[in-house]
Structure 1
Amino acid sequence: MSEHATPAVLRGPDLEGRDDYASVMEVFHAAIERFADKPAFTCMGRTLDYRELDRLSADFAAWLQHEAGLVPGDRIAIQLPNLLQFPVAVFGALRAGLVVVNTNPLYTEREMAHQFKDSGARAIVILANMAAKLENVLDQTRIERVVVTEIADLHPFPKRPLINAAVKYLKKMVPAYRLPGATRLRDALARGARLEHREVGRDRDDMAALQYTGGTTGRAKGTMLTHGNLVANMLQARQAIGPGLAEGAETIVAPLPVYHIYTFTVNCLFMMETGNHSVLIPNPRDLEGFVKTLRSVRFTGFVGLNTLFNALCQREDFRRLDFSALHLTISGGMALTSAVAQRWEEVTGCPVAEGYGLTETSPIVSFNPIDDIRLGTIGKPMGDTEVKVVDLDGNDLPLGETGELCVRGPQVMKGYWNREEDTAASLDAEGWFRTGDVAVFDEDGYIRIVDRKKDMILVSGFNVYPNEIEDVVASHPGVVESAAVGVPDEESGEAIKLFVVASDPDLDAETLRAWCKKELTGYKVPRHVEFRDELPKTNVGKVLRRQLRDEAQGEAKEEGEAS
């Protein structure tokens, strides 16, 4: 850093409406009052309007209070994919004053046991498809109340039993399980309807969700998100994105998991507060079924991420859809490549506005202004949000210098659940959270994420960021997706290995290296290239670089020992 350079702190605008709501439930009740007859959530052809969501969540809250015996502050795990049962269970739990522990439906038994035990959850709402796993780990947890639901439980007769039977007996997607004492969600709702629920007051400092981090770098940690954190981020989203939306008139496609903080905040809070309609996609990996759903919906917005945009744009049936109503596409969850963003706009006619966030920030930190999108950036800080970059010693850096991104604002978590040391290492006494991402600030206040700090590759003393390489590779017409990692190298310390999924069967390593040489400095050109049919991903669609790096480094070690 220059001796006379001034450290830079970027600040977002003043947050509008910061005192409008004290809790998530105040947001919920205001939306019900204003938009009662508007559609709230649709899934597999069935729609819940706001009035019905109010009734069903109240029924569930009453059952939790009177029959399940849960008290405010108790944790309840919710392990559901994108189904109508999710908002009913979540808002029912919050109305009873409980803390929601969102749980990935694809978790293994080991991951389930860790999260349930670590959170101290006393109850769970789980899809029957995963109930056999729960049976095997239940005795390792404090869970006393189990609520089981089948995929079509909120659909009317005769569609409900027909779908449930097809899933169970024809597709054989529900392994046999035995959970004595478990309650079926439909029974809980029916019994709750005969009881009177008590609205539980919550304030900004009360915990609303225990949101676990992805765990790709070790055991997942519980992030304590308060009502104040979630409400602030909802208001920040309203201020940054809301001016481009019409209240009560938008239909937003929600293919990413609702248990993930990205969709949880955007679709369950921001879109609800504005009275808009979310179309839940239970299995976005079924691209044929996904496109079929889109064909039947006049959607105006789409919330996704890079890998999904890329996969859809490769499909002819998607390209034939009617995009005339689409005017908002939001990207988050992982880096958006310029090539994919351009391809999406060419196909749909709608530009992609990229934002950035983390579980620990509820999640949105920054967002591209809708009227001034800058590809390759994550936009500007949200309302009442400060960001800065620091060097390895924690010193603040000026504009134009690269360092670790730090964030301070009302959306930053309370801390990690029962992990004081981890909290202290990430969150300082002044409220600055260290993100672990490497960033640089442009002169006009836009932020660029260079890469994850832990993913940086050191080649002959030079820092190489995988995102830059992957962006260049993605622009090759024969490439579907790629991932760059570092592997040990005697000469340069580390060398770059590129994993590629190609659409062109004739594409080879030398052709790709030549493509990279036109755009990248020599030390950034991949030395090793491996073609694969697919890349490992999280349930949200992020490529698991760490898994690929471990595999590549293990192979390099074996080759070294053999020689």
Structure 2
Amino acid sequence: MIVKSKLKAAQPHEPIHITILRRCLQFHADDPEKKAYFSSIDNSDGVTFKQIRDYSLSLASWFVENGFRKGDVLLLCMYNSWHFVVTCLGAWSAGLVVSPASTLFTEYELRYQLEDSTAKIIVTEESLLEKITKANSTGAKILCVSEKTASADDFMNIVTKQRTSTAVPVPVKLENDLILLSYSSGTTGAPKGVMLSHRNYAAALISYVIKFDDSYKALGLDGFVPPAHLMAFLPSYHAMGLFGTMFALHNGTTQITMKKFDLESLLRHLQDYNISSLGAVPSVVLAMAESPILDNYDLSSLMMIATGGAPLSLKVVERLQKRLPHVQLFQGYGMTEMSIASHISALGCPDGSVGQLLPNTEMKVISKTGKLCGPREQGELWVRGPQVMKGYWRRPELSKDLFDSEGFMRTGDIVYYDDDGYTFICDRAKELIKVNGKQVSPTELEDVLMAHPEITDCCVVGLPHDKYGEVPLAFIVAKSINEENIHAYIKERLAPYKRLRGGIQFLDTIPRTPSGKTMKRALKDDYLKKVKQTHKSRL
């Protein structure tokens, strides 16, 4: 059967940046001094809601006056800050498409995204400028947040001095025009650009507003009450981080930005600002559950932690709840291809469930034989909703294969649901490795390894890991190269989270099926069995 959300939401009538910029003026009218953002390092480095609006429109005017047109792609590589948000809002107000890139990316990875996305302009910050400049093989224009940049235009000079043009905001078509081109690791080949339209992103925002409102009413309140402060530490280039900061901005919440995660700083700010809710990935929850410094801080104001990006084990949930029994932990389910999510949980959600469908979202579960599954029957999850992407950038055949004739998108995840529509993730049919909530494609790692002249064959699998969720392990057939050389080779070419933390195993041959498919499951199972036996023998 097709399962439908019990909640309905209105269809979007305007893009998200128009809504947010208008609400920024409303928040300014209520409290002209209220900060929209400030840094966890220096709270004097902050901006008001009106400054967010004014800077965004100034930047949009500069884009238009300098010849950038609707549909042009802007690659954004920057740590968490208000500059990141202003770049997005300014780009969208000029009709540009934002393609966020990880600050962890190597020159090699940045060059790939620049070339594949056909980006015409890059916005970055001084600490990343050297890497960006080396990767800029296409000659894209560079804007940099810095006080002293000779090789790039100065971001701050533009947002504070550029006069706002009557040409902005540039009108966009909700259904057809893109807002984001985020790159997602697939199981086949290199990362692919996920095409999200203005309608996709606005629909996701509306669905969250309705879902949160419904959840708060279930607690006996009149509706959703946005928190006064939030910690913005999830990377803004990641789907969770970007949507989270836009949702909070829309709600008038003051956000405290962290460039890099630091547990002690996080706990101190949670205490000092009486923060009531936290969005996190499982590794952060694990760090909180296990760190002795947790007891040094008063977290009595913290009521809820929402997690996503990777499954959160019940063991970790139990550990944290022993230390913070008053805190509710909620999981969600989503992916970049869904703008943010299809499911989020709320109070009353069964243990281990990722919750129920977001408003206007539908799902079906398909068995291995192609049968439509009912409650408690396992199968692959397919999702349909206004937040689901248009397709993959410049890959029409791959996009076509991902959707069925009814418009449902294949997720590759094995699930079941109960009579109330609560969904439980059982396994992943696809082979993506989730390291600290970040997607790692085994095929991307294999392609990089196979480019080494000394490596003749290889395959990469994901191993379970207490801290990171999963880590990549490589099985390699090589002529004459050692483990140290391979790690150094990967370090030069790929971001730290893609490194082979699971180790390297040298083999004489990689086993394959008669049709030529690598027997990854057998290799992984054999390896885990050996590790278990070794552990037993040491006891």
TM-score, normalised on structure 1? Answer: 0.73
CA pair 96-118 structure 1, distance change in 2 beyond 3 A: same
CA pair 70-14 structure 1, distance change in 2 beyond 3 A: same
Contact kept? 1:250, 1:301, Cα under 8 Å:
no
- Give the equivalent residue in structure 1 for 2:115: 117
CA distance in 1, matches of 2:234, 2:35: 20
Contact kept? 1:97, 1:202, Cα under 8 Å:
yes
Contact kept? 1:333, 1:542, Cα under 8 Å:
no
CA pair 294-9 structure 1, distance change in 2 beyond 3 A: same
Matched, 1:551 2:515: no
Kindly report which structure 2 residues correspond to 1:44-123, keeping only aligned pairs within 5 A, or say none: 44=40, 45=43, 46-66=45-65, 68-123=66-121
Q: SS of the residue aligned with 1:451?
A: strand
- Give the equivalent residue in structure 1 for 2:251: 274
Kindly report which structure 2 residues correspond to 1:449-488, keeping only aligned pairs within 5 A, or say none: 449-455=425-431
CA displacement at 1:33 relative to structure 2? 3.3
CA pair 105-217 structure 1, distance change in 2 beyond 3 A: farther
CA displacement at 1:388 relative to structure 2? 1.1
CA displacement at 1:547 relative to structure 2? 4.8
Instruction: For 2:379, give the aligned amino acid.
Output: G
Tell me whether 337-346 or 47-56 shows the greater mean CA deviation: 337-346
Matched, 1:362 2:339: yes
- Give the equivalent residue in structure 2 for 1:440: 416
Matched, 1:149 2:145: yes
Contact kept? 1:344, 1:352, Cα under 8 Å:
no
CA distance in 1, matches of 2:316, 2:496: 15
Matched, 1:185 2:177: no
Contact kept? 1:332, 1:357, Cα under 8 Å:
yes
Pick the aligned partner of 2:3 from 4, 10, 14.
10
CA distance in 1, matches of 2:462, 2:235: 30
CA displacement at 1:292 relative to structure 2? 3.9
Contact kept? 2:349, 2:422, Cα under 8 Å:
no
CA pair 497-432 structure 1, distance change in 2 beyond 3 A: closer
- Give the equivalent residue in structure 2 for 1:204: 174
Kindly report which structure 2 residues correspond to 1:226-265, keeping only aligned pairs within 5 A, or say none: 226-242=197-213, 243-244=215-216, 246-247=224-225, 249-265=227-243
- Give the equivalent residue in structure 2 for 1:29: 21
Question: C-alpha deviations, 1:349-376, integer Å up to 9, x for none?
Answer: 21111111010001210011x2212221
CA distance in 2, matches of 1:498, 1:73: 40
CA pair 10-98 structure 1, distance change in 2 beyond 3 A: same
Matched, 1:326 2:325: no
Pick the aligned partner of 1:39 from 31, 35, 43.
35
Instruction: For 1:220, give the aligned amino acid.
Output: P
Tell me whether 423-432 or 237-246 shows the greater mean CA deviation: 237-246
CA distance in 2, matches of 1:346, 1:29: 42
CA displacement at 1:343 relative to structure 2? 2.6
- Give the equivalent residue in structure 2 for 1:460: none
CA distance in 1, matches of 2:420, 2:391: 32
Contact kept? 2:271, 2:299, Cα under 8 Å:
no
CA distance in 2, matches of 1:65, 1:121: 16
Contact kept? 2:9, 2:206, Cα under 8 Å:
yes
Q: SS of the residue aligned with 1:125?
A: strand
CA pair 542-358 structure 1, distance change in 2 beyond 3 A: farther
CA displacement at 1:193 relative to structure 2? 4.0
Q: Which runs of 5+ in 1 are unaligned?
A: 1-7, 154-163, 165-177, 457-465, 468-484, 486-495, 503-535
Instruction: For 2:252, give the aligned amino acid.
Output: G
Contact kept? 1:24, 1:227, Cα under 8 Å:
yes
Instruction: For 1:411, give the aligned amino acid.
Output: Q
Matched, 1:317 2:276: no
Tell me whether 338-347 or 424-433 shows the greater mean CA deviation: 338-347
Q: SS of the residue aligned with 1:211?
A: strand
Aligned length: 449
CA displacement at 1:554 relative to structure 2? 5.1
Instruction: For 1:41, give the aligned amino acid.
Output: Y
CA displacement at 1:500 relative to structure 2? 5.5
CA distance in 1, matches of 2:320, 2:257: 21
Contact kept? 1:247, 1:275, Cα under 8 Å:
no
Instruction: For 1:239, give the aligned amino acid.
Output: I
CA distance in 1, matches of 2:503, 2:239: 27
CA displacement at 1:259 relative to structure 2? 1.3
TM-score, normalised on structure 2? Answer: 0.76
Q: Which runs of 5+ in 2 are unaligned?
A: 217-222, 435-441, 443-460, 468-489, 512-522, 527-539
Contact kept? 1:441, 1:447, Cα under 8 Å:
yes
CA pair 124-555 structure 1, distance change in 2 beyond 3 A: farther
CA pair 290-371 structure 1, distance change in 2 beyond 3 A: closer
CA pair 501-396 structure 1, distance change in 2 beyond 3 A: closer
CA displacement at 1:395 relative to structure 2? 3.3
- Give the equivalent residue in structure 2 for 1:130: 128
CA displacement at 1:142 relative to structure 2? 5.2
Contact kept? 1:120, 1:142, Cα under 8 Å:
no
- Give the equivalent residue in structure 2 for 1:477: none
- Give the equivalent residue in structure 2 for 1:167: none
Instruction: For 2:353, give the aligned amino acid.
Output: T
Instruction: For 2:504, give the aligned amino acid.
Output: E
Kindly report which structure 2 residues correspond to 1:456-535, keeping only aligned pairs within 5 A, or say none: none
- Give the equivalent residue in structure 1 for 2:447: none
Question: C-alpha deviations, 1:105-148, integer Å up to 9, x for none?
Answer: 1111111111111111100101222211222221x2251x2011
CA distance in 2, matches of 1:26, 1:135: 32
Contact kept? 2:6, 2:359, Cα under 8 Å:
yes
Matched, 1:430 2:428: no
Tell me whether 36-45 or 345-354 shows the greater mean CA deviation: 36-45
CA distance in 2, matches of 1:322, 1:555: 56
CA distance in 1, matches of 2:235, 2:508: 34
Question: C-alpha deviations, 1:2-54, integer Å up to 9, x for none?
Answer: xxxxxx221102422334x3211232133223212343222232332211111
Q: SS of the residue aligned with 2:170?
A: coil
CA distance in 1, matches of 2:374, 2:349: 23
CA displacement at 1:310 relative to structure 2? 0.5
